[in-house]
Each structure stands twice: as C-alpha cells, then as structure tokens.
Chain A
Amino acid sequence: MIASLSPSQRPPTQRIVITGIGLTAPNGNDWQTFRKHLLEGQSGVRPYEIRYFGKTLAGICSFDTLRYQSKKDIRRGTRAGSIGVYASNEAVRHAGLDWANTDRSRVGVYIGVTEHGNVETENEIYEIKAYDYNTDYWSHHHNPRTVANNPAGEIALNMGITGPHYTIGAACAAGNAGLIQGAQMLQLGECDVALAGGVSESIHTFGIFASFRSQGALASHEDPQRASRPFDRDRNGIVVAEGGCVYVLERLSDALARGAEIYGELVGWAINTDATDFVLPNPQRQAECVQLALRRAGLAPEQIDIVSTHATGTTSGDAQECMALRNVFQNSPTTHFNNTKSFIGHAMGAAGALELAGNLPALKDSLCHATINLDNIDPECELPRLVANEARPMGRVRNVLNNSFGMLGINSVLIVQQL
C-alpha cells in the first residue's frame, strides 16, 4: 500500500490527512498558543514536588479540566483520561466536524501511551498504607483506571464513540505510533474518522522520576526553564512532562468531500526495533527507520525541510540520534533540525504527537522554531542547520519529519507533507 506508491500516485481513499488538532502542553493549551510560545522561546518547565521523591522539575499542564468533563468524571477517571478527553474534544471542534451527525460507530480512537497504571497503583498503595496494607481498603476503581485502554476508553465514553478504541503502548515513540495506527486503520477502512495521538500523565508517578534519577538521566538546573537542554554540552538529563495531543485524521477523499481545512498529509512512516538494549539507543537502527519512512514517502533526504528531533537531553541519547541524523542527512543542503523538548520537557507518550504539532504550522508560516537552552554545542551533537535558541524564517517548508524513539529499542518516524 503506502510503500509501493508515492503519495500523489495513491488513490485519495488511501491518502491520510490531518484535519484537526487538539492539545495541552506545559506551555499552551491550544495549538495556536503552543506554536506562539515555541516561536517566542517560552518554556513550560516549572518546579514540581511529588510524594516520596521530593522537589524536582516538570512540564505541567494547566488546561481547563471542566471544559469537557464533570467533577465526577474527573474523580472517576485518570489524569491521562482527562488529558485525552480535553485534547480529543478540542481536535473535533478544531476540525469543524458536524459531530452531532457523525456516525460514532465509524470513529476510531488510537492513543499512544508510554505507560499507564503506575499513577493509580502508586496512589492505591499509598492509601492502603494507612490501613496496614489491608487490601480490603483497595479501591474498586483501580481496575478500570489502570487497564491499558483507559485513556482511549475515557475518550470514547466521553464522546459517545462506539467504534474501536485502544491505546498503543510504545514507550516514548507512542505519539507517532498512535498517529500511524490511526492512519493505517483509515486505510484499512476500519473507521472513517480517527482520533489519534498520544497522552502522558507521567509526572504523577514518583516512580518515573526516581527511576530516571537512579539511571543518572533526570535533569536538574537552578533555573527550571533552563533544565531541558538537548545537544548542550552541560545537559544532564530529562525533564518529565505531562501533556496530550490528539489529531483528527481522515482519508483525503472524505476531507475534500466535506470541504475540510487540511493541515498536512501523512505521506510516510516507519516503526522498527533496535533489538540491542533495554535503554541505550542504536543509531544504525534509528537511521534505518528514518530511511524507511523516506522511502515510503518517496522522498530524498534533501526534500525534508525540518527534522523534529527526539533528543531528550540525555548524554548518550542525544549524541546517538545526531549520529543517525548525520548518517542520513549528511549530504542534504536544506534540512533544518530543531527540538521541542527543550521547551516543554519530555511528554512521554504525548511527546511525538506534541512535537509534530509544534512543527506543523511551519508548512504554512515557513518558520522553524528552535531548540532552546543551547549555549555550548556538544561536539558529538553537531548537526548542520541546527536551529539554535531563536526561530528561523525558512523558504517554503514542504516536508516535516518527526522522530520519536523509546525504551526497549522502539523507533518511530513520521513524515507530514504540505498538501
């Protein structure tokens, strides 16, 4: 299917486009504000404190939780669910879908998650500690809150969607993986509208902070907004963030038929696996993943205008990704590179989806937002045309390539093209 034909040769029923975007990020609760703050260099990282772990830093979202949910919905569900519900409703509204007359049995929900259930499990254990760990006091809400499909299921419940819903567990590659799953399901005819993307509630589990710190991969800095600093010589790890980004995806034929505004076409994607280590990335496999996505899109490296890097601010990971990117793009005179985690931290399951959303407006405004907090480039992270600290005007931006990688060696790459 997608591998055999270049985008323009595919029938419109096999071409997948973005017609709506809803999001909450640590520095913006809608697409326009998020983009504005990325162009202005405004970080969303703040001081944060969590039980057992203590004081740290995080990317924290401030969306209006009651815009689409009741207090009871919020009490009943999870933070990941609330984030998903907010982003999905915003996306549908943004897409201009006639939701009241949309056949909800033909809507699919495909939400990427890095992890799910840790927050609720930690909460329950904390609660029953007060009862000498007597499990008679363990909440009946635990199972519906921790089942892996919870965030997608809460979206479906909230919006009356009766088509398929599930999450895609793909570590920190999950945001791209959710989008890819949605696009594939549209191509297969499993749904007519896909709500696809990723969510993260990870800042509410102390375990993720503690584990990164034990791994020597948790960022610290006296100025919170300077803590997330991919590619910088003095980077010292990840700033964990929460957030969510959900896209309305449709087949091009359907989008054109209803006169929808189209924000880009998903022209190529790839997911592969390192199969070499639990945590350490493999630049060769990453490069292969990028090359596979390019082949499927029918594009050469020099046709990619912006590469949205995955880099998280860890010593090893950033250098490895740059090695992979130099391998693929060494002869490209046009490709620019940036990084969104430097603004918002690492939004885990939402990262890939949010970072793509941060870059998509470039297809229209031809501006490439920067990677901030880059004071002294690490020689191992040298990239040609790395857009450092200030947004840069470009010529026409036709293609954006979005990297998103995760633990257990999962790599995902997604290419979006101006239509």
Chain B
Amino acid sequence: MVASTCRRQVPQRFIGWESERSAMTPSEIREEVLDILENIAPDDDLGGLDDNQPFREQLELDSMDFLDIVMELRRRHRVQIPEEDYKHLASMASTVAYLEPKMRDIVKA
C-alpha cells in the first residue's frame, strides 16, 4: 500500500515517528531536506550550506532539481506542494518554515 511504502522510503532515523505521534522538529525536517538535496546534487558539498542564502546561489540547482525536491517530499511524506508555493523552497530556512506545518499535519492525520 501507499502508506507503508512511504514509510519504507523514509530514512531509518525517522522510523517510528508516526507511532510516537510527535511531529518532525524543524531540525529533523532540515535533515530530511538535506538528505533529499544530497541525492539531487551529489557533486555539491552541502557541509557549508547557509540556511539563509538561496539554494541557487550555493548549489548547482535548476528548475528540474526543484521539481525533484517537490517529488521527493511527495514520495516520502505525501506532502503536496502546489506550484504557487514553490517560491518557499528558495532557501533551507524558508523551506523548513514552509514544511513545518505540513509535516505536522501529516503526522496528525
């Protein structure tokens, strides 16, 4: 089923968070976005990423890569991000802030 598969694709460190009924913290969301970025930009060093600077100024990302972020969040957590909200994915800080309530909603569902 979809739900079980989604759980299967969540990194090991998040296994069990649903059953504990605790929302992902901002730092956990950041870690998850970082994990997605590592797959999308495998040649980039993400160690020095500045959360407050736009991704595009720090990484080799294009529009297809941002769609990858959207797709991965959908696949891993069933988070739906409408096109008009893509602008919130500009930096790590804005992405985490945007995702926090959505991640919480998923846990409560």
Asked if A137 and B64 sit within 8 Å, CB to CB, the answer is no
Residue A4, interface by CB 8 Å: no
User: Is B67 part of the binding interface, using a Cβ–Cβ cutoff of 8 Å?
Assistant: yes
Whether B60 sits at the interface, judged by CB under 8 Å, is yes
In the bound complex, CA of A140 to CA of B40 (Å) = 13
In the complex, are the beta carbons of B43 and A137 less than 8 A apart?
Answer: no
Q: Is A132 an interface residue (CB 8 A)?
A: yes
Which stretch of A17-25, A51-59, A67-75, A285-293 is in the interface?
A67-75
- Which residue in A132, A137, A144 is a CB contact (below 8 Å) of B74? A137
A1 at the interface (CB under 8 A from B): no
Known: A130-B2, A132-B2. A137 touches B71 (CB 8 A): yes
Report yes or no: A70 in contact with B64, Cβ–Cβ below 8 A: no
Q: B22-41 interface mask toward A, CB cutoff 8 Å, 1 = contact, 0 = none? A: 00000000000000000111
A140 contacts B64, C-beta separation under 8 Å: yes
In the complex, chain B residues whose CB is within 8 Å of the CB of A76: 64
Q: Which residues of A contact B60 (CB under 8 A)?
A: 72
- CB-CB nearest in chain A for B80: A136
Q: How far is the CA of A137 from the CA of B41 in the complex (A)?
A: 20
| A130 & B5 in contact (Cβ 8 Å cutoff) | yes
Q: Indicate if A134 sits at the interface (CB-CB under 8 A).
A: yes
- A139 on interface, CB distance cutoff 8 Å: yes
Contact A140 B71 (CB under 8 A): yes
Total chain A interface residues with beta-carbon distance under 8 A: 15
In the complex, per-residue mask of B64-106: 1 if CB is within 8 Å of any chain A CB, else 0 = 1001100100110000000000000000000000000000000
**Quick check: B64 and A141 within 8 Å, CB to CB?**
yes
Establish whether residues A139 and B42, one from each chain, have CB atoms under 8 Å apart when the complex forms. no
What is the chain A residue whose CB lies nearest that of B62?
A76
Please state if B71 and A139 are interface contacts (CB–CB under 8 Å): yes
Give bound CA distance, A136 to B60, whole Å.
26
For A71, what are the chain B residues with a Cβ–Cβ distance below 8 Å? 42-43
Q: Which of B2, B41, B68 contacts A131 (CB 8 A)?
A: B2
CA of A57 to CA of B75 in the docked complex: distance in angstroms? 34
Contact A72–B5 (Cβ < 8 Å)? no
Interface membership of B1, Cβ < 8 A: yes
Is A140's CB under 8 angstroms from B67's CB?
yes
Give the residues in chain B near A136, CB-CB below 8 Å: 74
What residue in chain B is nearest A127 (Cβ atoms)? B75
Q: Which residues of A contact B67 (CB under 8 A)?
A: 140
Enumerate chain A residues within 8 angstroms of B41, measured Cβ to Cβ.
Answer: 72
Chain B 50-68 interface residues, beta-carbon cutoff 8 Å to A: 60, 64, 67-68
Docked Cα-Cα span, A2 to B39, in Å, equals: 51
Contact A137 B75 (CB under 8 A): yes
CB distance from B109 to the nearest CB of A (A): 17
Task: Spell out A's residues near B (CB within 8 Å).
Answer: 70-72, 75-76, 130-132, 134, 136-137, 139-141, 144
18 A-B pairs within 8 Å (CB atoms) are namely: A70-B42, A70-B43, A72-B41, A72-B43, A72-B60, A75-B39, A75-B42, A76-B64, A130-B2, A131-B75, A132-B1, A132-B2, A139-B71, A140-B64, A140-B68, A140-B71, A141-B68, A144-B64
Interface residues of B, Cβ cutoff 8 Å to A:
1-2, 5, 8-9, 39-43, 60, 64, 67-68, 71, 74-75
Top 7 A-B residue pairs of the complex, sorted by shortest distance between their CB atoms: A71-B42, A130-B5, A70-B43, A140-B67, A131-B2, A71-B43, A72-B43
